[in-house]
Amino acid sequence: MFKAIFTNTFGILVSRVLGFLRDLMTASVLGANIYSDIFFIAFKLPNLFRRIFAEGAFTQVFIPAFARSIHKSLFSAYIFSLFLSIILTITLLVNLFPHLATKLIAVGFDEQTIAIAEPFVAINFWYLPLIFAVTFLSALLQYKHHFTTSAFSTALLNLALIGALYLSEGSSEQEIVYALSWGVVVGGVLQLLVHFIALRNLGITRLFLGGFGYLKLKAHKIKRETKKFQKEFFPAMWGNSTAQVSAFLDTLLASFLAAGSISYLYYANRIFQLPLALFAIATSIALFPRVSRYLKNGDEKKALTYMTKAFWFLAFLLGASTLAGVILAHEITWLLFERGAFSAEDTAKTTLVLQMYMIGLIPFGLQKLLLLWVYAKQMQLRAAKIATFSLLTYIVFALGLIAPYGVAGLALASTLSGFVGFILTIRAFGTANFFAILRSKLALYLIGGALLLTYLLLILKDFLHVYI
């Protein structure tokens, strides 16, 4: 288990380090203004779908369904063709009607800003079909217990964007956003290419491609399997997407605020996503096949043992990350972004947003772990209901907090919805199971470690003030 977690964590770490380098360059070149807002808006929706597909929903439904399928090649060909055709249709519609698509994504932009943004939205949307294909191939690789390619492939997107920034340095802001948009597409092509290479090296290319030739003739053989998959997928997708949809709504609502607000949310959320991805998402990806197998075989006790180990592993790491993120938010933001066009005022505003996000790291991270149990038990509809209630909670808090607290209120609303979702997920996981995990001496170590770490971080903060 921990070997797979380490592989995912290290791959995500490499990608996120490059991502921070990309964001550092973006902040320096574009700063926090209307053009940076436009790029983040343009990339937001395809990136939203990337997170929904790549970080759980598709894989959690596809792998068990693929494993159960008698006609694996036919089944994979059908699912790939169905989803890709839908996504390509959406992408073509966005490119045919970019003005309408941009208005839907950024309703707070005025007509002049929408006119500037619409070509970038159209270009960025081509990343969506590319990343679906990547996610599909990644699921096949995970079925063969190969995690390395998927873990490291996002680094290629970041390298493409870094290259775009480097090549466009000194250009106008509009030309830089064009370069970044095409960099997104190039990154998607590179990710798809390395997954095809990994598929061929593992000898499963024929498994993927073989079903396409017989799809029309033999589709009836997988009719029951595909209906079951579709029935399970959409609740699973919705259940996995609460945090991403909340972040998307953050951006939509922030478009009504002052220029730069979208960028403050983006930069702060990027920092927040680092420990979430490194620890919670990496652990969830590695643990799901094992927990699913034990529950399928009726060995709930063994599955709970692994959940307990993972719970405390995450509790310590996420707890330490939360304390560091809240206490050192200003220092982290200053170190990463305050240079070039990114001012001290931008740092102050991003810091407050980051603190609001970081308060929700533990509930968001532990919820991802507990949801494994819910999905392994095939309670996708229960997960979807939890997601719906969490999202409604976010909307209520966001509308209530945006006026008095501005962009920081949106981040706080997201955090509060995370707490609500975590509590509801505990109930789905089983309150008795949850308290069985909590009844451990490790809880005392966690409290003591948190107090000691808080003291050390406060000393470090005072020390850093000498230099900042």
Which tens digits make up the pLDDT trace of 75-130?
888 888 888 998 899 899 989 998 888 887 776 777 888 888 888 889 988 998 99
The span from the CA of 301 to the CA of 314, in Å, is 20
Predicted local confidence at residue 467, as pLDDT: 59
Q: Residue range 398-418: average pLDDT?
A: 92
Question: Above 80 in pLDDT, residue 304?
Answer: yes
Predicted local confidence at residue 364, as pLDDT: 92
Alpha helices in 328-430 (DSSP H): 329-337, 344-358, 361-376, 380-405, 407-429
Decide: 279 and 291 in contact? Cβ < 8 Å.
Answer: no
**Of 296, 231, 284, 233, residue with least CA distance to 68:** 296
By percentage, how much of the chain surpasses pLDDT 90?
24
Predicted local confidence at residue 10, as pLDDT: 75
Predicted local confidence at residue 443, as pLDDT: 73
Question: Above 70 in pLDDT, residue 1?
Answer: no
Decide: 121 and 102 in contact? Cβ < 8 Å.
Answer: yes
pTM above 0.75, yes or no: no
Decide: 414 and 357 in contact? Cβ < 8 Å.
Answer: yes
Share the mean pLDDT of the chain.
83
Question: Above 60 in pLDDT, residue 436?
Answer: yes
**Of 395, 420, 388, 391, residue with least CA distance to 409:** 395
Predicted local confidence at residue 101, as pLDDT: 83
**Burial tier of 112 (Cβ tally within 10 Å: 0-12, 13-18, 19+):** exposed
**Of 122, 94, 95, residue with least CA distance to 38:** 122
Predicted local confidence at residue 217, as pLDDT: 65
Highest mean pLDDT among 157-166, 208-217, 434-443: 157-166
Domain boundaries, the chain: 33-240, 241-468
Report the range of poorest mean pLDDT among 316-320, 415-419, 437-441: 437-441
Q: Residue range 347-356: average pLDDT?
A: 93
Q: What are the tens digits of pLDDT across the range 177-195?
A: 899 999 999 999 999 999 9
Decide: 151 and 7 in contact? Cβ < 8 Å.
Answer: yes
Confidence band, pLDDT 50/70/90 cuts, at residue 274: confident
CA-based Rg of the chain, rounded to a whole angstrom? Answer: 22
Report the range of poorest mean pLDDT among 49-53, 160-164, 231-235, 277-281: 49-53
CA 256 to chain centre: 24
The span from the CA of 401 to the CA of 407, in Å, is 9
